[in-house]
Amino acid sequence: MRLWLEKQRHLIDFTLASLARRKTKNIGLLLAYMLLVFVLASLMLFTHALRSEAAYVLASSPEVIVQRMVAGRHDLVPPDYLERIGRVRGVQKMQGRLWGYYYDPVLNANYTFMARPSGEIADGGIMVGNALARERGLSTGNTISFRSYSGKLFTFEVLATLSPDSELLSADLVLLSENDFRRFFEYPAGHFTDIAMSVANPQEVRNIAAKLGKMLPDSRPILREEILRTYESLFDWREGIVLTVLAGAILAFAILAWEKASGLSAEEKREIGILKAIGWETSDIIRMKSWEGLLISITAFLGGVLAAYVHVFHFGAAVFEPVLKGWSVLYPKFKLLPTVDGLQLITLLFFTVFPYMAAVLVPIWRAAIADPDTVMRA
Amino acid sequence: MLFQPSIIALLLAAGSGVFMLACAAPFAMQVILRWDMRSGSEQQLRLERRTYLFSTLLAFVMASQLAALLLFVFNADRLAVMFVGAMCAVGTLNVNEWGFPSLIAQITIFFLASMWLTINHIDTLARDYPLVRIKYALLLALLPILAGGFWLELQYFLNLKANVITSCCGSMFSAESKTIAAEASGLAPEPALWLFYISMLAAIAASLGHWRSGTRSSAFLTALFSASGFATAIAGVLSFVSLYIYEHPHHHCPFCILKPEYDYRGYWLYIPLFAATAAGLGAGVTQVFARRSSLAGVVPNVSRRLAGLALCAFLIFTGAVSYFVLSSNLVLLEH
């Protein structure tokens, strides 16, 4: 064992020295390799961070949301629904929610209006999300007018702007009292937009949804786990699409690696010839060349992942943002929580190191079987 | 199919493995038919040179299979969110009928690949390629197995449709259902505990014996007890180790222990267990060829070293299990 380790150590020593002798060629390859790892790693780190952000945000949302459907469209929930649902066992808390969208021609953006109980917000006051406040230049104490869909003008006083920490959720949010909400949108009394339910036992969620479906055939229960699953597959899908687009790059890189490995210079050929003449075996040359590939791979992989980490978590993944994040006029500003995932790293290894090593195998062998005397004579 | 990076990576690895093996097949036929060490013909020289290429290629394929097994389980665990009712890898593997066969095929390929690599290793240590024919014949035998594994994996991933209601691990490993997994986990903890420790003791004793004596029969015993040790160890994980780790008398899942909630304790069990079994099997396999004259000096060394590795890994595994059982707050057996 000791002997074996010793042998590998000397091989590595020799390989490093021989790599250093051909700096320009190897640095070129290393840079291309690192760039590939960097691009793929940025993509994976960024989607994973978005995915965990979504999961984190959804963790505190209600387990079930019930909507009423009329002719396949989302409609208002009539007053007696709350009472009828109240009899389902297992439902811990239930709340009718009032929310809607409002189009603001000033910003060409949609706001989300949501009613809060009157204890939290006095009539005539609103709380606004951070992105909205930024875009419209609002601060606490200002007044703002919105023209409702019926044509009437409503003026509100800004009581507070919501904390920037919640910007991912509250970028375009306007919170107002229930009375104001009903008046502004001319909502029929007792009706709600939808119903949010919390269920104590997570394993009961599907049963409760089934019961609701039976009890109120025109309702549509939306489960939190379904939303989570949708996000999950959405991000996976986006990641997969970008990856497919980049498949060409991986292939091009494999071809480059093949070319670089098979285009041995006369000097390198002489080196191998001499090594064989002084007693190295073919398998030793293969081992040395494999070490060379492995060392380059490890350096490029670590360098690329590190650069991607800095790119995603310190510079907000400027390269991939437009494809992966989605867009909106009032887009929230948020900082991603740095998370690195083992599965992603192994997958990345399969997408970069695996094709590289596969591509250089044949050239390595070609170099190793060369006859010492033909090479040295040439 | 789900358009997911890890799935693409797994299929890529399995597909290129089969492709490389298929490329090597005609060469393997040539070696089996034409190999003649005494001849100095040009063809023989060419064959000898090519063996280097294909040995390296295959070592690469086999090594990637080992990594693919890890990725497969890791990925199955992660995909659980996508399926209604699935809470861990069991649910994901249960989404269609190809999941578990695919996993079992992967594990089989893992052990076959490790044995092939051991044979390849001793062959390269000898001067006259004594096992080259056997090696390439085995390779031809491995090709359909690898292709089958790839096909199963492909079927599994192609038929993965999110939203199928699968069974969660709680219902699969409970005592009422009638599968082998359920039989294993349905074992009462006390006999399972005895069976587990007896077979671990046997495996440890056999590998210790072979490591010290180096006799042929002890090598075969090591291989036998490693294989049976693997089976009882998995049964033990299902029937009592998982219970102690979860501190829950009815949760038998062998995959949840890999999760961060349980401090990744599963890796302390599975990595030594797989290494020990592969090394133990390797020790036995090398001894099959101990009578060849050119290998007489090579095989005992290699197989004793493998037995030493198996010994260490089984000790780590048994130690880890004992630690998890003793440090658990769950009381399964009254004293």
> What is the Cα–Cα distance from A271 to A262, expressed in whole angstroms?
15
Quick check: B332 and B249 in contact, CB under 8 A?
A: yes
- Per-residue exposure over A363-374, b if at least 16 CB sit within 10 Å of its own CB, e if not: bbbebbbbebee
The pLDDT of residue B176 is above 80? no
Determine what percent of chain B is predicted with pLDDT higher than 90. Answer: 21
Contacts of B84 in chain A (CB under 8 A): 206, 225
> What is the Cα–Cα distance from A159 to A181, expressed in whole angstroms?
16
Between B177 and A271, where is the model more confident? A271
Q: Which pLDDT score is estimated for B151?
A: 94
Query: Is A373's Cβ below 8 Å from some Cβ in B?
Result: no
Q: pLDDT category, B179, cuts 50, 70, 90?
A: low
**CB–CB contact A237 B3 (8 Å):** yes
Count CB pairs under 8 A between chains A and B. 85
* pTM value > 0.90: no
**CB–CB contact A350 B52 (8 Å):** no
Query: Is A351's Cβ below 8 Å from some Cβ in B?
Result: yes
Quick check: B73 and B103 in contact, CB under 8 A?
A: yes
- Evaluated on CA atoms B39, B42, B43, B45, the torsion sign reads positive
**CB–CB contact B52 A286 (8 Å):** yes
Q: Which pLDDT score is estimated for A377?
A: 74
Q: Which pLDDT score is estimated for B279?
A: 92
Closest by alpha carbon to A200, among A89, A70, A360?
A89
Query: Is B74's Cβ below 8 Å from some Cβ in A?
Result: yes
Closest by alpha carbon to B322, among B258, B254, B240, B263?
B240
Tokens of A368: 């190793």
C-alpha distances in Å from residue B214, one per residue of B115, B122, B218, B302: 19, 16, 7, 10
Query: Is B81's Cβ below 8 Å from some Cβ in A?
Result: yes
In B, minimum Cα distance to A344 occurs at B6
Disruptive mutation site among A272, A365, A366, A374 for chain B (greatest number of B CBs within 10 Å):
A365
Between B61 and B161, where is the model more confident? B61
> What is the Cα–Cα distance from A367 to A282, expressed in whole angstroms?
9
Query: Is A290's Cβ below 8 Å from some Cβ in B?
Result: yes
Query: Is B51's Cβ below 8 Å from some Cβ in A?
Result: no
Quick check: A132 and A173 in contact, CB under 8 A?
A: yes
> What is the Cα–Cα distance from B140 to B143, expressed in whole angstroms?
5
Residues of chain A with pLDDT under 50: none
Q: Which pLDDT score is estimated for B334?
A: 63
> What is the Cα–Cα distance from B199 to B232, expressed in whole angstroms?
7
Minimal Cα–Cα distance from A318 to chain B, Å? 21
**CB–CB contact A361 B60 (8 Å):** yes
Closest residue to B56, CB basis, from A232, A233, A361: A361
Contacts of A350 in chain B (CB under 8 A): 9-10, 12-13, 67-68, 71
Query: Is B141's Cβ below 8 Å from some Cβ in A?
Result: no
Q: Which pLDDT score is estimated for A34?
A: 92
Q: Which pLDDT score is estimated for A218?
A: 84
B212-265 confidence digits (pLDDT tens) = 887 888 889 899 999 999 999 988 888 888 888 888 777 778 888 887 778 888
B80-126 confidence digits (pLDDT tens) = 777 776 777 777 787 788 888 999 999 998 899 889 889 988 888 88
Between B17 and A225, where is the model more confident? B17
Query: Is B82's Cβ below 8 Å from some Cβ in A?
Result: yes
B293-333 confidence digits (pLDDT tens) = 888 788 888 888 899 999 999 999 999 999 988 888 777 77
> What is the Cα–Cα distance from B212 to B320, expressed in whole angstroms?
24
Average the pLDDT over B54-76 and give the result: 84
Q: Which pLDDT score is estimated for A225?
A: 79
Q: pLDDT category, B167, cuts 50, 70, 90?
A: low
Q: Which pLDDT score is estimated for A297?
A: 92
Disruptive mutation site among A4, A45, A345, A354 for chain B (greatest number of B CBs within 10 Å):
A354
User: Counting Cβ atoms within 10 Å, is residue A99 exposed (0-12), middle (13-18) or buried (19+)?
Assistant: middle
Q: Which pLDDT score is estimated for A5?
A: 87
